[in-house]
A and B are shown apart, each in its own frame.
Chain A
Amino acid sequence: MSTNSKLESYLTTLNEHLGAISVSDRSEIIMEIKSHVLDASEKSPDKSIEDVLKDFGSAESIAKKYLEERGIKTSTNTRSPFTTFIKWAFIASAGIMLLLGLTLFMIIKSLTPFVSVNGDKVSIMGGLIHVDDNNFRFGHTVYEIDGKYKSSKLKDVKILASNGKLEFSASPSNEIIWDCKVDQIKGVQPLSKESYVEIDLRKYKELDCEIQIPAQLSSTVTMSNGVIELEEPEGNYDLSLQNGEIKISPLDTYAYNFDLKVNLGSLDKFTSSAAKSTGNKKAINIKARLENGKIKNSSD
């Protein structure tokens, strides 16, 4: 391509990109730039037409400046519709991805019980329920429910709960006694099954119960999040908790067989002892499985 045809091709491109400017103005612009290029290359012999054109920058960018000076938007003139489509498609899909990501995050956050154990304090579900040694509180209104269940036959007890605190101690009679603070007015109805009594507390999203169980009964407790406390246990317990804290204060005068496991967290020292000082009484079996949190020995 000769230098002159390079100039012509530059001017043609420029003309094409000045589309929104009137024909007469466009020809003025083309003539003026042509005049400048020829003038400048004549004045400095070491400068070729290409060099002068380089000083100008690309024909597209000059056209853009002319249009900008006149306050004409350049996007439709300098960008192909395809580029514009791709740009918007990209923005739209990025937005959708972001929304999906956020939604997923919210769902995971609302479903995953988030537990943090810090010293004596346990925080569950991002602080919805706070647990520390002396204090337990809900985020919602509290209702009190209490009741008794007399176990005529010797049955074992099965307790199911979702979130909250369960405190167990020995019943002075042969009755199961409960005293609960819960988040909704719904009574507790123990179900008598073939070989055990089931107390299902899972309808409460939050609860704080003191439950007294006759010493001769074995209890199985299954809870999702919170605190299970065994206050001087005199019967067998089989506890399983997903997240939170299990506190056990064994009696000095009893012998225990401890079978305690924490998947993620801490486990205090518990000493299993043979049935020695208890005379003819059998050792009490305490089994606990905790996914996340701590098992604390609170006897001292």
Chain B
Amino acid sequence: MDINNWKMQMRKGYLELCILALIHEKKKLYGLEILELLSEVKLSVKEGTLYPLLSRLSEDGLLSSSWVTENNKGHPRKFYSLTKDGQKLSKEMNEEFQNMISILEKLKK
């Protein structure tokens, strides 16, 4: 089996989990900030992957967004935060992921 293919499949769900968790934690974030925070923890995501994903999560009603121009200077930024559905799903996804990890741990004992 091709490990890269497996990684890609794993990553798809994992990335959504992480982004939702991150926005949940920080309450309000814009795209570039998300990229920077993810790269700080060595979860490298391409711009071309993040923005389409954020767009789809908004479409699904998990994220809400608003354009904010900070201190009335510079250009506006699109800030994302979790909707109620987003918060609920983020919690469920976290629980499921913890469950998956503990199953794997049990299997290895």
Within 8 A of A (CB), among B66-87: 67, 75-78
Q: List, in ascending order, chain B residues with CB within 8 A of A43's CB.
A: 32
Assess whether B52 is in contact with A35, with CB atoms less than 8 Å apart.
no
How long is the Cα–Cα vector from A52 to B49 in the complex, in angstroms? 14
Decide: A39 near B49, CB < 8 A? Known: A29-B55, A32-B78: no
Assess whether B75 is in contact with A70, with CB atoms less than 8 Å apart.
no
Check A119 for interface membership: any CB of B closer than 8 A: no
| Chain A interface residues toward B at CB < 8 A | 25, 28-29, 31-36, 38-40, 43, 52, 55-57, 61-62, 65-66, 68-70
How long is the Cα–Cα vector from A129 to B24 in the complex, in angstroms? 79
| Chain B interface residues toward A at CB < 8 A | 30-32, 46-49, 51-53, 55-56, 59, 65, 67, 75-78
Assess whether A40 is in contact with B52, with CB atoms less than 8 Å apart.
no
Assess whether A65 is in contact with B75, with CB atoms less than 8 Å apart.
no
Assess whether B52 is in contact with A56, with CB atoms less than 8 Å apart.
no
Classify the interface of chain B: helix, strand, loop or mixed: helix
Decide: A57 near B52, CB < 8 A? Known: A31-B78, A38-B75, A39-B77: no
How long is the Cα–Cα vector from A65 to B48 in the complex, in angstroms? 8
- Least CB distance, A143 to chain B, in whole angstroms: 60
Decide: A36 near B31, CB < 8 A? Known: A57-B48, A65-B48, A65-B49: yes
How long is the Cα–Cα vector from A31 to B68 in the complex, in angstroms? 12
How long is the Cα–Cα vector from A133 to B59 in the complex, in angstroms? 81
Q: Which of A39, A40, A52, A62 contacts B51 (CB 8 A)?
A: A62
Assess whether B55 is in contact with A35, with CB atoms less than 8 Å apart.
no
Assess whether B51 is in contact with A55, with CB atoms less than 8 Å apart.
no
Q: List, in ascending order, chain B residues with CB within 8 A of A35's CB.
A: 30-31, 75-78
Assess whether B32 is in contact with A57, with CB atoms less than 8 Å apart.
no
Q: List, in ascending order, chain B residues with CB within 8 A of A33's CB.
A: 51
Q: List, in ascending order, chain A residues with CB within 8 A of B67's CB.
A: 31
Assess whether A66 is in contact with B52, with CB atoms less than 8 Å apart.
yes
Q: List, in ascending order, chain B residues with CB within 8 A of A36's CB.
A: 31-32, 47, 51
* Closest partner residue, chain A, to B65 (CB atom): A28
- Least CB distance, B57 to chain A, in whole angstroms: 9
Assess whether B32 is in contact with A70, with CB atoms less than 8 Å apart.
no
